């Protein structure tokens, strides 16, 4: 089967098929301001197949036929192969520059989906929390409880302090792979990784969990930023 | 009739049937930022039947068949029964953790509908009003007059000061039931109860009144927060 | 012809018929935050007929059959008549409390449409401009030029300073009629009247002009408030 | 062929035809707050034809038949001709006052599309950056990389400082033509030109590039304004 024309992998009448979900979710993320100007996106892994949107395109106008499909895990690299695909769009589209970072969530957390946003709430959080971690506590119980330990485990307790590591930005997205992986090892309970002046990566067991956790975290970044700017404490001691 | 498959309670071609309204309204609340990340929601009581959305799901993607139906009032508790249902979704869905709080509005106010939001305006109001009550006066007459005394009585006058009690948050949503009830007794005229760092509960005689009162209160929380942050007084003496 | 069942006045397949436009525009105004919680609205006058939405309803859910139609001008008042209608909805709906204020725009400016919003930008403008008038200059030329002298005349010049009078709020909407009329006489060039802690009335020759002028003014209130809060001057001397 | 009725130039079943795209994009820009109150818009050039929306109309309600088509380049001016059109709408519509400014992007950058917004983020940026240029660095790599050198060249590097010149506003839009052209010559790498207290012009090789670059720049204006207001530095030295 040629990777170039295997449309069967992305053509489905099921609205919950990953190739249909990714365009729909990206349109919704565009409304939320998460994927402005071609940035950001979502990947979905179903068993041994990973569905990823192309890079550098208007995320609110993706079609199912634009989706890349990759095998998971990837075959061992050889001198002759770079990344291996089950399907590439026939259009001249590039794979997402986020691919190596999404892969971290599969390799280190067995995630089923990973979302990357450029939400201004996430970016402002990385500017106002100048250290290596964003912390907030006692906020909107359901928001904190909506976040799972390590992104894929049990729900946090309202009495836990939420911690999301912040890594430094780099000129090329691919170069974030190692520092993201390090942060995931150092903060094994974190459901996401912030990138300074850039955005956030959040993962979950499936697309629903990845999406709702991204919403919870984005909510917490937003309210945290508002609290900081209003001079309110964001972590309480009890 | 088995509670597990009584779909007739939630299948209707009438767009104003509660099982159709709840999904539609939740989609609209999602756009308003009230039910981000699975939190928040609405219940509707019609006579002796209460319709409630499930817990922990994406509120903008609820289907009528996801709706729980409970009898009102509930039969007296026994050692063998917990809560009694007229219908449970066949999918593995949990009933809303807000159920006991929604019940307060039925028992203490004879409400026909109750809404819970995690609106950031409500949360910020509870952070900037550090005492047990949010107060504002002389604001947008129609907003204050849109709120009814006790949520189900006659309209407030523009010259009244609006008061909404603020209760403290707890690790589990269910544990708010008693403090919410206490606040409703102590502030018999209030149309809602704020929960610190969490959100708000608002009720009304029916879903329209609950919804428009939630909009009016949310508007007043928002403008109140803006006024506080701008150093403007929120209560005038005349 | 009975005023109770003259549906022919509001049933039309033309999307630009006032009875179709008012519901559509109100849905759009709801998205903009102008008519939250049943407040605000729009009336359209076509020749000797005035079309007005009902009071106290969800403005994003109005149907053509909810629309009131009144003759313009009204017959002289008599001991037996209050306001005269060409059509009243058969549902139990009240006419808009804004009716006397909308009438000011017809009587004093020969307007063809008048819009009332509770936009928070308008309200904040009346709180930060504590005197009897909101002023701004040299802002977004097209925004200022989008506003016409007296609402129905020629376009303002970019070099003009925009002035919108601010009247004080009253417990009942109807009581604003006289002070609004006074402000319109005192500021004959103004395209709208702000009401302190409440909102704004804006009129134009037709619904398009009323709507675009409301957008221009709302934009100017919003940017004016941002400038004030940032410590920037809102009127320049050249 | 009469310029008055050459509808063939704007009637097409292809959703990507410029006469279909312009109305659709303008509706989307309206949602983003870019073209409030008739201001702003987009033009698309395909080879020797330029498609432009009319002036002074509600930009979210444009129809394909409202579109003007002009030849590019324009024939040399003569005492008898002003601007030359391939098609004018039969309705009484005026050509966009932005036409001479859009032309700058064709003449000086060989652009295929140019967008003008009145975004409040752009306006606030011109108020907080009081000098002749808006600068920001190290922000949201993908946002900066989403902007191309000169608007039509290669992508900026994350390590580049983004510079967008700011020109002063004038009473008439047409009078901005020369100062915009001067700024484009003086800042040959800039992908857009800000106009003080007014908005921004952004261009690209085609409508997709113009749109995504406008989104990237608008994002950078927004985050830049937030940073300035929070007292954060917007340019880092490394």
Asked whether residue A154 carries a pLDDT value surpassing 70, the answer given is yes
> C68-71 and B199-204: which strand pairing?
unpaired
Q: B-side interface with A, Cβ within 8 Å?
A: 36-40, 56, 58, 118, 120, 123-124, 127-128, 169-173, 197-199, 229
Which two structure tokens, joined as six digits, stand for C122?
Answer: 């308008």
**Partners of residue C223 in chain D, C-beta under 8 Å:** 120, 123-124
Q: What is the pLDDT of residue D81?
A: 66
Sheet of B161-167: strand order equals B68-71, B49-52, B41-46, B113-117, B199-204, B192-195, B161-167, B133-137
* pLDDT value, residue C1: 46
Interchain pair A171, D141: CB under 8 A: yes
Q: Provide the 8-state DSSP code for A87.
A: B
When mean pLDDT is compared over C89-98, D82-91, D228-237, the highest value belongs to D228-237
Checking if the pLDDT of C87 tops 50, the result is yes
Contact indicator for D107, D205 with CB cutoff of 8 Å: no
Residue in D closest to A40 by C-alpha: D142
By C-alpha distance, the chain A residue nearest D147 is A37
Phi, psi of D67 (to 5 degrees): -80, 140
SS (H, E, C) B26-41: HHHHHHCCCCHHHCCE
The mean of the pLDDT values for chain B is 92
- Which residues of D are known binding-site members? 98, 116, 118, 198
Q: What are A70-85's pLDDT values in tens digits?
A: 999 998 877 766 789 9
Beta strand B161-167 with B192-195 is: parallel
- Judged by CB atoms closer than 8 Å, whether chains meet at D173 and C142 is answered as yes
For an interface test with A, which of B36, B96, B119 has the most A Cβ atoms less than 10 Å from its Cβ? B36
Cβ–Cβ under 8 Å, residues D140 and A123: yes
> Is residue B3 scored above 80 in pLDDT?
no
Q: For position D86, what pLDDT does the model report?
A: 95
Averaged pLDDT, B124-151: 90
Contact partners for chain B, using 3 or more CB pairs closer than 8 A, are: A, C
For residue A114, what pLDDT is reported?
98
Mutate: best of D136, D142, D221, D222, partner A, most A CBs <10 A: D142
Q: Give B238's pLDDT tier (boundaries 50, 70, 90).
A: low
Q: How far is D197 from chain C (nearest CA, A)?
A: 5
Mean local confidence (pLDDT), C206-217: 97
The segment with the largest mean pLDDT, out of A71-80, B15-24, C172-181, is B15-24
What is the nearest CA distance from D209 to chain A, expressed in angstroms? 9
3+ Cβ–Cβ pairs closer than 8 Å linking C and A? no
In the sheet that holds D41-46, the strands lie side by side as D68-71, D49-52, D41-46, D113-117, D199-204, D192-195, D161-167, D133-137
A211: chain B residues, CB-CB within 8 Å: 58
Q: Can you state the percent helix, strand and coil of chain D, rounding each to 5?
A: 40, 20, 40
Reply yes or no on whether the pLDDT at B28 is more than 50.
yes
Please judge whether B199 and A140 are an interchain contact, meaning their C-beta atoms are less than 8 angstroms apart.
Answer: yes
Which residues in chain D touch residue A169, judged by CB atoms under 8 angstroms apart? Answer: 138, 141, 158
Is the alpha carbon torsion for C94, C100, C104, C107 positive or negative?
Answer: positive
Q: Specify whether the CB–CB gap between B140 and B219 falls below 8 A.
A: yes
pLDDT band at B142, cuts 50/70/90? confident
State the pLDDT at residue B170. Answer: 86
Taking residues B2-13, what's their average pLDDT?
80
Q: Which of D36, D120, D173 sits opposite C215 (nearest CB)?
A: D36
Tell me if ipTM is over 0.85. yes
Angle of helix A18-31 versus helix A207-229 axis, rounded to 10: 10
Residue-wise over A203-229: b if at least 16 C-beta within 10 A, else e?
bbbebbbbbbbbbbbbbbbbbbbbbbe
| A96 close to A40: Cβ distance less than 8 angstroms | no
Nearest to C171 among B141, B208, B222 (CB): B141
Instruction: List residues in chain C touching B: CB distance below 8 A.
Output: 36-40, 58, 118, 120, 123-124, 127-128, 169-173, 197-199, 229
Residue B1: pLDDT above 50? no
If one compares B118 and B138, the residue with the highest pLDDT of the two is B118
Residue B62 token pair: 């609820």
Cite the annotated binding site of D for Zn(2+) by residue number: 116, 118, 198
Cα dihedral across residues B11, B14, B19, B20: positive or negative: positive
pLDDT in tens, D98-140: 999 999 999 999 999 999 999 999 999 999 999 999 999 887 6
- Confidence band (pLDDT; 50, 70, 90) for B181? very high
Three-state DSSP class for residue A32: coil
Each residue's pLDDT tens digit, A105-130: 999 999 999 999 999 999 999 999 99
- What's the rounded mean pLDDT across residues D192-216? 97
Could you tell me which chains touch chain D, where touching means 3 or more CB pairs under 8 A? A, C
CB nearest C171 (choices: B140, B159, B216): B159
Chain center to CA of A218 = 12
Q: Is B198 annotated as a binding residue?
A: yes
Distance CA A83, CA A70 (A): 8
Chains with 3 or more CB pairs under 8 A to chain A: B, D
Structure tokens, A141: 């119980």
């Amino acid at each position: 089967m040629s990777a170039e024309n295997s449309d069967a992998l992305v053509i489905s009448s099921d609205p919950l098929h990953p190739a249909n979900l990714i365009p729909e979710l990206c349109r919704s993320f565009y409304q939320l301001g998460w994927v402005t100007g071609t940035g950001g996106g979502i990947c979905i892994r179903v068993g041994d197949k990973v569905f990823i949107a192309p890079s550098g395109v208007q995320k609110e106008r993706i079609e199912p036929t634009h989706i890349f499909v990759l095998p998971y895990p990837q075959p061992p690299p050889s001198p002759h192969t770079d990344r291996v695909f089950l399907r590439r769009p026939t259009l001249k589209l590039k794979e997402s520059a986020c691919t190596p970072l999404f892969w971290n969530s599969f390799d280190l957390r067995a995630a089923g989906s990973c979302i990357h946003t450029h939400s201004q709430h996430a970016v402002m959080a990385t500017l106002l929390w100048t250290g290596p971690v964003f912390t907030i506590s006692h906020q909107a119980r359901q928001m904190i409880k909506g976040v799972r330990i390590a992104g894929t485990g049990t729900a946090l307790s309202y009495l836990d302090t939420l911690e999301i590591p912040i890594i430094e930005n780099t000129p090329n997205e691919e170069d974030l792979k190692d520092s993201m992986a390090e942060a995931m090892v150092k903060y094994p309970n974190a459901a996401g990784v912030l990138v300074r002046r850039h955005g956030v990566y959040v993962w979950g067991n499936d697309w629903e969990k990845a999406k709702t956790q991204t919403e919870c975290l984005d909510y917490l970044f937003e309210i945290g930023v508002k609290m900081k700017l209003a001079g309110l404490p964001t972590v309480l001691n009890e």
